[in-house]
Amino acid sequence: MSAPRLAFTHTFTPGADPAAKSERTLLLLHGTGGNEHDLVPLGRTLAPGANLLSPRGSVLENGMPRFFRRLAEGVFDEADLRRRAADLADFVAEAAEHYRFDPARVTAVGYSNGANIASAVLLLRPGTLRGAVLFRAMVPLVPDPLPSTDARVLISNGRVDPIVPLAETERLASLLRAAGAGVDVLLQPAGHQLTQADLTAAQAWLRGESVLSS
């Protein structure tokens, strides 16, 4: 199947049974400087049978791909963020039609900048994502009014992350819960880099197993 003319350079890997149209799709969203290939091995590890849809961020910062502009570390360009979140939500819907996966069973797996754009999609375009695994995430914006969503969300952040303060983790969890999401929070003994504990917890969570909030 030829690649569609969609808004993002991307890869798509069908799940174990391409005929199973109700199969889960993981939307893989890389961090700053990553690309559409970076999280594919992670996606295969987290959910071996899932479809994997992995776009490349279309914003460049000093030559490094991102999903939206920032004005400084931790200071986001909200107008650009809103536009890029809408673009990503549209891309997911168009990709679902093209690749014939169930748009109601899309779970984002995002790291850092990718986690932040996933949070923005949850808050700005509810219904696009059934759930999200957010690694090293912070509050992207606070929409007014808040949307209504029943998405399931796992936030796995580091206790000693120099980029994401601990207070940001609770702010994000509280914001998503106020919008109606079911949120689990894990604080890992780590900084901004992912650890095996992040992956083990995400695997269990994606299987529907409970993880202890910390």
Which residues form the catalytic set?
112, 161, 192
Q: φ, ψ for residue 19 (rounded to 5)? A: -80, -15
The answer to whether the CB of 56 falls within 8 A of the CB of 10 is: yes
SS3 state of residue 188 = strand
H/E segment holding residue 120: helix 113-124
**In angstroms, rounded to a whole number, what is the distance separating the alpha carbons of residues 20 and 17?**
6
Please answer whether residues 89 and 82 qualify as being in contact, where contact means their C-beta atoms are separated by less than 8 angstroms.
no
DSSP 8-state code for residue 104: G
Q: Please give the Cα distance from 76 to 65 (Å, whole number).
A: 15
Strand partners, 65: 60
Residue type at 175? Answer: L
Calculate the CA 58 to chain-centre distance: 15
CB 154 within 8 A of CB 186: yes
